[in-house]
Structure 1
Amino acid sequence: MTFTVSVGTDSVECRPDQPILDALLRGSVWMPNSCNQGTCGTCKLRVVSGSVDHGRSPENTLSPAEREQGFALACQATPCSDTVVERLDASPAGDVHALRDVVGTVSAIEDVARDTRRVLVTLDSPLEFSAGQYVELRVPGTGHGRQYSMANTPGESKQLEFHIRRQPGGAATDGWVFSSMSVGERVDMVGPLGDFRLDPEDEGPMILLGGGTGLAPLKSITRQALTKEPDRAVHLYHGVRGEADLYDVDLLREWERAHPGFRYVPCLSDEAWSGRSGYVTDAFVEDFDTCRGHSGYLCGPPAMVDAGIKAFKRRRMAPRRIFREKFTPAG
């Protein structure tokens, strides 16, 4: 049995046990989405007619009052009848890629920094995505999924590159990626997901601030931007705690030599060294008096992203030109 879920002029079929967001994205119907765990509220929608089961929707993301008013989280809510819903945000610029299940083979595993691994997965069939998006890897034997951004560009859609940092006791890292994962292993995943991506209509100067493995989607966005406009002004700041946490430094320095408008600034928050020290957001503020006409991309821990938003606004960046992705712990 399935129910019909409609938004605007689009309709999809949705099972009673299937999140509305999953059904819409698989049907190439865009709905805002970010964490897909019910913690960010990005996918909040209004139920116009019909009824839904709110599932595990947290009250701090969807309050009882909001439920009474007809709001729901698309990533958690499942239909109980034919349902009509309404987006709270307008459709984004650029392509909408259908969500789908994909299978691949681990083709390389490399330790690139302290507690950080690069994992390459060669897919059975290419995956269309936008620079900045992510997929959810299924953790073997657990029934759980973990989300990792692609560091490669959409033009390299047959092999995906992930930057994965170990989380002590993590089901996906200590329990798999840093223990039993091996080259040749088959991997199940679903994607692409997320609205954090390079705006295809933006052709002005860019500033990107990343924390830790938040470098992954920023690397994809940077490469995509420079491929389209080799002389574009792109400033990439990468913040980590110590020098042992930096990676891809030689590659990014090579990009600097190849692209006169590209600048790479690594920052260490907990160590003094020959380069920039302190928080990555402070380094940015020191370097720019104004950011009018710039676009900003932020990816990393929530505290860093929040500080980055304030820093961008402090330097007069238009709020609509600020794009962000917060790396939050798995539920």
Structure 2
Amino acid sequence: MRVTLQPSGATFEAQPGERILDAARRLGYECPQSCRNGNCHICAALLVEGRVKQNGDVRDHGELFTCLAEPLEDCVLHWDGVLAPGELPLRHLACQVTLCQPVGGDVWRVRLRAPAGKPLRYHAGQYLLIEREGGHSAFSLASAPHEGRDLELHILAREGGAVKMVEQLRNSSTVRVQMPLGDAHLADLPDGPLVLIAAGTGMAQMHSLIEHCRAQGFAHPVHLYWGVRQPEDFYELPHWQEWQKVPNLHLHKVVSEPDNWQGRTGMLHEALCEDFADLRGLRVYASGSPAMVYGTLDALVEAGMDAHQMRADVFAYAPR
């Protein structure tokens, strides 16, 4: 029987005679629960559609306890606090600003420290929102989960809201953030090579992925393609020199509008296709503007890549 959860929209299959909580946990969901016999009420949910059996009674509406209820047909439940496999709870935090310094190319390196207490949980490659007057601004996390409370951002501040955000960070001792967000992450390391494609400060997300792979002892090759328009747009990365000594990490800087640049030139997808005659078997992550990400996707699909091999946050916040 199929169980659909509201408000998340997640679905899973329960086996005949299996209790809803047991089915969800078997499939990797994190669920609010404690006693598992209906006394604590922590696992309570609201039956919106369908029928269940609980303590010998058949119910077709109202409150139920997922640790006791067995679906008799496809059901819809309103069940708060359930996290799908790999999903982490969204937290609102007041973080201390510990560093805000220019690193070249109009980019600022920002370090935040989350409050002590409950451990900070996020996946490599996710992003956060910083509260500002009138709304929020999204920034990829350049730090990796093993760094604990310390968070790093790379902010391009050339005009408009980004300049104001840097001013806010330079003049404030704390900021309020929401995290973690984004599904283009590495909750689990793949059993094969990784290709990371970054335009400009899209490098922040790739920095998180690379540092996570290093910390986890990832044995497969990692190929980084970092592209900018002009050479001066490259900015200083804290671990770049260390990365150059990692045997399975291959670094490529690509400039699309070269001016006295002796390295690789052109578009990022062109550099990738020059290096890989066969794109099958690669897991690709891309970070940049929607136009850049979709242009890269289309070019790589035309070159033989399956579209499902690429992950990018753009696919969620700017679908086409």
State the TM-score, normalizing by the size of structure 1. Answer: 0.67
Per-residue deviation at 1:299? 0.5
1:298/1:324 contact within 8 Å kept: yes
Among 125, 130, 135, which residue is 1:132 paired with?
A: 125
Structure 2 counterparts to residues 186-201 of structure 1, below 5 A: 186-198=174-186, 200-201=188-189
Q: Does residue 157 of structure 2 align to residue 157 of structure 1?
A: no
Among 186, 193, 207, which residue is 1:219 paired with?
A: 207
Q: Does residue 257 of structure 2 align to residue 270 of structure 1?
A: yes
Q: Does residue 273 of structure 2 align to residue 320 of structure 1?
A: no
1:155/1:243 CA distance change after superposition, 3 Å: same
Structure 2 counterparts to residues 6-17 of structure 1, below 5 A: 7=9
Q: Which residue of 2 aligns with 1:185?
A: 173
Structure 2 counterparts to residues 63-102 of structure 1, below 5 A: 95-102=86-93
Per-residue deviation at 1:242? 1.5
Q: Does residue 251 of structure 2 align to residue 260 of structure 1?
A: no
Per-residue deviation at 1:314? 3.3
Aligned letter for 1:233?
Answer: P
Aligned letter for 1:123?
Answer: A
Per-residue deviation at 1:307? 1.9
- 3-state SS in 1 of match to 2:160: coil
Q: Does residue 273 of structure 2 align to residue 285 of structure 1?
A: yes
Q: Which residue of 2 aligns with 1:40?
A: none
2:113/2:149 contact within 8 Å kept: yes
Aligned letter for 1:261?
Answer: N
**Residues in 2 aligned to 1:243 and 1:161: alpha-carbon distance in whole angstroms:** 23
- 3-state SS in 2 of match to 1:274: coil
Q: Which residue of 1 aligns with 2:219?
A: 231
- 3-state SS in 2 of match to 1:113: coil
Gaps of 5+ in 1: 11-26, 30-47, 50-82, 86-90
Aligned letter for 2:127?
Answer: Y
Q: Does residue 250 of structure 2 align to residue 248 of structure 1?
A: no
**Residues in 2 aligned to 1:181 and 1:211: alpha-carbon distance in whole angstroms:** 24
**Residues in 2 aligned to 1:199 and 1:5: alpha-carbon distance in whole angstroms:** 23
The answer to which of 317-326 and 278-287 deviates more is 317-326
**Residues in 2 aligned to 1:228 and 1:312: alpha-carbon distance in whole angstroms:** 29
Q: Which residue of 2 aligns with 1:43?
A: none
**Residues in 2 aligned to 1:101 and 1:249: alpha-carbon distance in whole angstroms:** 28
- 3-state SS in 2 of match to 1:283: helix
**Residues in 2 aligned to 1:315 and 1:131: alpha-carbon distance in whole angstroms:** 28
Q: Which residue of 2 aligns with 1:111?
A: 102
Aligned letter for 1:247?
Answer: Y
Deviations 1:260-280 (A, max 9, x none): 111110111122301111222
The answer to which of 154-163 and 284-293 deviates more is 284-293
Deviations 1:32-80 (A, max 9, x none): xxxxxxxxxxxxxxxx98xxxxxxxxxxxxxxxxxxxxxxxxxxxxxxx
Among 170, 174, 188, which residue is 2:163 paired with?
A: 174
**Residues in 1 aligned to 2:8 and 2:185: alpha-carbon distance in whole angstroms:** 26
Q: Which residue of 2 aligns with 1:70?
A: none
1:28/1:97 contact within 8 Å kept: no
Q: Which residue of 2 aligns with 1:147?
A: 138
Equivalences, count = 248
The answer to which of 194-203 and 118-127 deviates more is 194-203
State the TM-score, normalizing by the size of structure 2. Answer: 0.69
Aligned letter for 1:130?
Answer: H
Q: Which residue of 2 aligns with 1:122?
A: 113
Deviations 1:175-203 (A, max 9, x none): 231x3432761110111111110251512
Q: Which residue of 2 aligns with 1:24?
A: none
**Residues in 1 aligned to 2:11 and 2:277: alpha-carbon distance in whole angstroms:** 46
1:249/1:137 CA distance change after superposition, 3 Å: closer
**Residues in 2 aligned to 1:241 and 1:161: alpha-carbon distance in whole angstroms:** 24
1:107/1:120 contact within 8 Å kept: yes
**Residues in 2 aligned to 1:295 and 1:323: alpha-carbon distance in whole angstroms:** 8
Q: Which residue of 1 aligns with 2:44?
A: none
Q: Which residue of 2 aligns with 1:15?
A: none
